[in-house]
Amino acid sequence: MTNGSLPLMWRKFPERYCMRGNKCTTCGTAFFPARKVCPNCRRRGKLVEEEMSREGEITSFTEVFTAPFGFEMETPYFIAIIKLGNGAKVLSQIVDSAREKVKIGAKVQKVFRKISDIDPEGPIAYGYKFKVVE
């Protein structure tokens, strides 16, 4: 990441740092990341900004053994689809959790962690990940 990436980081601030998405006031469906149009209601839907739930449940997961550039030192690690408390779904890394606790139906909670620091002269990117809670 180079200093030219700083504007991109700030544009992603509401999603990466605050987990802000939106919700359709017509049908009640929550979206993360935020959408411009509700796919259920189309033009009839009215979307309002909403902070996403900090808790959820694993609905699917996989263990990664061969990581993409920048994540090689983290292998093996888990990536999961998490259904949040408000119904929105999010793809996230699972951290600070014993292998045997990462399973479908496991309750998880949002935590704030380092995402990347690929460029030695650039900023460190932080954001959300999830961990299994008892």
Which residues of the chain fall below pLDDT 70? 1-17, 116-124
pTM of the model: 0.79
Q: What is the pLDDT of residue 15?
A: 60
Sign of CA dihedral 36, 40, 45, 50: negative
Q: What is the pLDDT of residue 113?
A: 77
3-state percent helix, strand, coil for the chain, nearest multiple of 5: 15, 40, 45
Q: What is the pLDDT of residue 72?
A: 79
Q: What is the pLDDT of residue 2?
A: 46
Closest residue by Cα to residue 17 from 113, 125, 95, 128: 128
Q: What is the pLDDT of residue 12?
A: 54
Structural domains for the chain: 3-132 (2.40.50.840)
CB 47 within 8 A of CB 35: yes
User: How, if at all, do strands 55-64 and 77-84 pair?
Assistant: antiparallel
